[in-house]
Structure 1
Amino acid sequence: MRDTCREPWNVTLGHGSVGCHGCTKYPFRRLFRSHIDPSRNKFHTHNGRASPRGFLGAAIVATTSPKEMLMLADVDRAVAALLESERLGGQAAKVAFDAPKKEWAAARTAPTLNLFLADIREDLTRRTTTLIEEVGENGIVESRRQPFRFYNLTYALTAWASRPEDDHQLLGLALRALVQYDYIPEQFCAGELTALLEQGHNLHLRVGGKIFSDRFATELWSAMGTDYHPFLSVVVSLPVAAGVPEPAGPPQTVPPQVVVSSTDDPIRDVVRGRDPEAPEAGIRTRRRDQN
């Protein structure tokens, strides 16, 4: 059997076992595709699960589900719709999401705003531990789940036209459109984003901040192989549902009760909590021990 890998596309990422001959021969391939291990004729699905001999020994790459991928595409479309609301010379600006490489720059035929997704990472300052209760139609808590986590989607926004002054004008229009809002307006949101808005979430928007380091711009254009272009950082905070719902226990039917007593005193204190059937304040009583 040839020492190559058949590579059907898959929606998941990660894995890459060093025990696979194809992965050994093509180490970077395992980061992007699922494939057949020719030495064992087994399908290596990139499902984000690390094996003892996985990439770097114990690399775990989070699975990207089709729904999560759809949410990212919805964010792309929402930001593009916001940018296209500004007009240059009476025409809506064209928005592209391609990597701004030399080949792409040479092939474009109209003034274009390039919205390059440069990074996705969790905003740990917004992580909480309070569980979310999911209530049924009868008002009883049926399940609990982890709170939403928030991921910052960082775009590098550049303008591409025939002359530098046109670049600056187009980028200025984009800046004017973006700074009008602290979050992406509802009229630009569709798909999965609509459900997030209905749950009370907003897609917070930050424009013009520093991207990671002062060297990022130099490294970006060096990697793309194109001439330097000024860019705006556009950061969108995306809420993502975390964990899976855990079924709640049966509803409480009797009030909780705490008994405080002493070994040498027949009197004991009984403190009852709220009655689920009649939720008034707790009741404190004193009664003589019958024993």
Structure 2
Amino acid sequence: MIHEVDEVLKGLLTGGALTGTGVEVAFEAPTRDWAARRNAPTIDAYLYDIREDVRRRERGAVAVRDDRGVVLKRRQPPRWFRLSYLVTAWTKRPQDEHRLLSAVLATLLPREVLPPEELTGSLAALGLTIPLTVAGLHTEARSLAEIWSALDGELKPSLDVVITAPFPAFPEYDAGPPVIEGAGVRVRGMDGTLDGSPVRHHSPRDLAGRGRAETVSE
């Protein structure tokens, strides 16, 4: 699932205001050594945090249906996880990096919700929309300064991009076959014989005194 979110984000970062710019998109940790090897304009989306969004956790089971609407399987609702990316721009001049970050903002701000048709693999198969936020309030336990310190890098402008994605919960359970036969009630008389036709929707009072009722399949 995580690699599929990477591909979705990469597709977004190479489109919109960045279409045709030829800017590379990387997912590497922006360490000093990595930065020293950059020789082309690059946008780096470093995945630094993964946390479950417990507010979205659901109970019960979800029905998996075919094209006719028949229930084939039942499974647990997906669990939702917040994938936080540290997005930075790398060029020779700070002014160019600021332009790239502006282009990233212009590209991602209109994409608050990603529909299933823009997703791939198991994400698309779930048929759910996934939310995206950019440059929101940083609420994770680790501050950005701590992240840069752990990377042994120099603090620089960055955008916090969070994609909240569903992760399928396993296992799945096969559903029983659909009921295709109806059930009726026939009344057995005192002599032990059945009435000739099914009797439906009788109340106990209606059947009182008519003998013993038996349930049969039509």
- Aligned-residue offset at 1:140: 4.7
Aligned-CA RMSD value: 3.1
Asked whether the equivalents of residues 18 and 104 of structure 2 are also in contact (C-alpha less than 8 Å), the reply is no
Aligned mates of 1:82, 1:115 — CA distance in 2: 12
Q: Which residue identity does 1:85 align to in structure 2? A: G
| Equivalent position to 2:170, from 232, 243, 246 | 243
Once the two structures are superposed, residues 33-55 of structure 1 have per-residue CA deviations (whole angstroms, 9 ceiling, x without a partner) of xxxxxxxxxxxxxxxxxxxxxxx
- Aligned-residue offset at 1:192: 3.7
Identify the residue that residue 218 of structure 1 maps to in structure 2: 145
Secondary structure class of the residue paired with 2:163? strand
- Aligned-residue offset at 1:98: 0.5
Aligned mates of 2:98, 2:42 — CA distance in 1: 12
In structure 2, do the counterparts of structure 1 residues 170 and 185 end up closer, same or farther at CA, with 3 Å as the change threshold?
Answer: farther
Secondary structure class of the residue paired with 1:172? helix
TM-score (norm 2): 0.75
- Aligned-residue offset at 1:203: 2.6
Secondary structure class of the residue paired with 1:103? helix
Larger Rg: 2
Q: Which residue identity does 2:151 align to in structure 1? A: M
Identify the residue that residue 135 of structure 2 maps to in structure 1: 208
Which is bigger in relative contact order (C-alpha 8 A, separation at least 6)? 2
Identify the residue that residue 145 of structure 1 maps to in structure 2: 75
Identify the residue that residue 120 of structure 1 maps to in structure 2: 50
| Equivalent position to 1:285, from 190, 203, 209 | 203
Once the two structures are superposed, residues 56-112 of structure 1 have per-residue CA deviations (whole angstroms, 9 ceiling, x without a partner) of xxxxxxxxxxxxxxx322211221121111456962321110000000010001121
Aligned mates of 1:88, 1:249 — CA distance in 2: 51
Identity percentage over the alignment? 37
Secondary structure class of the residue paired with 1:91? coil
Identify the residue that residue 45 of structure 1 maps to in structure 2: none
- Aligned-residue offset at 1:123: 1.3
In structure 2, do the counterparts of structure 1 residues 140 and 170 end up closer, same or farther at CA, with 3 Å as the change threshold?
Answer: closer
Identify the residue that residue 174 of structure 1 maps to in structure 2: 104
Aligned mates of 1:186, 1:247 — CA distance in 2: 25
Identify the residue that residue 189 of structure 2 maps to in structure 1: none
Aligned mates of 1:237, 1:215 — CA distance in 2: 18
In structure 2, do the counterparts of structure 1 residues 161 and 188 end up closer, same or farther at CA, with 3 Å as the change threshold?
Answer: farther
Unmatched tracts of structure 2, length 5 or more: 184-200, 212-218
Unmatched tracts of structure 1, length 5 or more: 1-70, 256-282
Q: Which residue identity does 2:50 align to in structure 1? A: I
- Aligned-residue offset at 1:187: 7.2
In structure 2, do the counterparts of structure 1 residues 145 and 87 end up closer, same or farther at CA, with 3 Å as the change threshold?
Answer: closer
Identify the residue that residue 62 of structure 2 maps to in structure 1: 132
- Aligned-residue offset at 1:215: 5.6
TM-score (norm 1): 0.57
Aligned pairs for 1:17-166 (under 5 A) are 71-86=1-16, 91-135=21-65, 140-166=70-96
Equivalent pairs, count: 194
Asked whether the equivalents of residues 81 and 188 of structure 1 are also in contact (C-alpha less than 8 Å), the reply is no
In structure 2, do the counterparts of structure 1 residues 136 and 76 end up closer, same or farther at CA, with 3 Å as the change threshold?
Answer: closer
